[in-house]
Amino acid sequence: MKIDHLRRAGNKLRLLDQTRLPGELIYKELDDYRDIIESIKRLEVRGAPAIGIAAAYAVAVAAHQTDRLEPEYLVEVASEIKAARPTAVNLAWAVDRVMHSLREVDVMDVEKTRLSLWNEAEAIHEEDRQMCAAIGRHGAELIQDGWSILTHCNAGALATGGIGTALGVIYTARDQGKNLRVFADETRPLLQGARLTTWELQQEGIEVTLLCDSMAAMLMAQGKVDCVIVGADRVASNGDAANKIGTYSVAVLAREHNIPFYVAAPMSTWDMAIESGEQIPIEERGADEITSGFGKRTAPEGTKVYSPAFDVTPIRLITAHITDEGVKAGGRAG
């Protein structure tokens, strides 16, 4: 599995503009950290691990935008990048990590500082590849041959630095010879399931069926779903998980129909500084994503809109967390 959507290109960041998928493959090479911030905000790069990687590279890119690397400059840059999106913990975690790599570097030595930042950003990228592979191995042990799996949003290669988290489990199980079928929620309002997950799975030759978010209950009632696997943008220390809006609804439905509900995410997505999902900041998106999605108005002018990008699934609805360190039991059986 190789989707080349995010990587270093000299002293620039090369990324695939995911807002243009599935119709166009448009790559950008960015040499200004502010442009990377905007790409994160516009969801040209998205998925908790991927935006963490992009954020780490953004600090390194910023180091080439000045001849004098004053400590205050880098601190200001780091603060700007960390403010790009609030929910995914990987973003701030990655920025803090690359900044911490400078603790033994004389920041007045410009070349050594730049080298340290690039090395740490690339290390974060490589480690994410390895974490995805480990999640795939651990999760595949839970999957039986012939299963039909429901997923929500996109937690595949496009969302990470490797094979993905939720989809990484599916790819690994497939590589073990298991015959699988995937149902992908369209994932309103930006249709990451329709545009990205189905595209990824088609590249891999995996059978996928697209459905509207509101159809998941009917599918489960008909006995057509064996398990649900989703990703996460932040996991609280008690196991509550924030993921794309609509995930909580799917978890409630899965419990009602006695279907296992798995959350696949690396330990870098766990925020041990917070006790529960009630403390996870939830990003709210612009009204136009709902009233004028993809440039076509679908609601009257002046309509009030509530548009959280994420919701929180409590641990009591999660069968297990699939992490790079192994499978951690959740709060419900089955």
Catalytic residues: 233
Q: Can the peptide bond before residue 22 be classed as cis, meaning omega within 30 degrees of 0?
A: yes
What three-state secondary structure class fits 233? Answer: coil
Question: How far lies 2's CA from each of 61, 82, 157, 168, 289, in Å?
Answer: 24, 28, 8, 12, 30
First and final CA of the chain: distance in angstroms? Answer: 30
Question: How far lies 59's CA from each of 37, 124, 207, 225, in Å?
Answer: 10, 13, 39, 43
Both tokens of 268, joined, read 């870098």
Q: In angstroms, rounded to a whole number, what is the distance separating the alpha carbons of residues 15 and 8?
A: 9
Alpha-carbon torsion, ordered 38, 39, 42, 43, to 10 deg: -150
Residues in a beta bridge with 312: 242
Q: In angstroms, rounded to a whole number, what is the distance separating the alpha carbons of residues 28 and 5?
A: 10
Measured N-to-C along each axis, helices 110-140 and 48-62 cross at an angle, to the nearest 10 degrees, of: 170
> What does residue 219 show for φ and ψ, rounded to 5 degrees?
-60, -45
Alpha helices in the chain (DSSP H): 33-41, 48-62, 71-82, 89-100, 110-140, 166-175, 192, 198-203, 216-221, 247-256, 288-291
Q: Which amino acid is at 118?
A: W
C-beta atoms surrounding 46 within 10 Å: 26
C-beta atoms surrounding 284 within 10 Å: 13
Give the DSSP letter of residue 308.
B
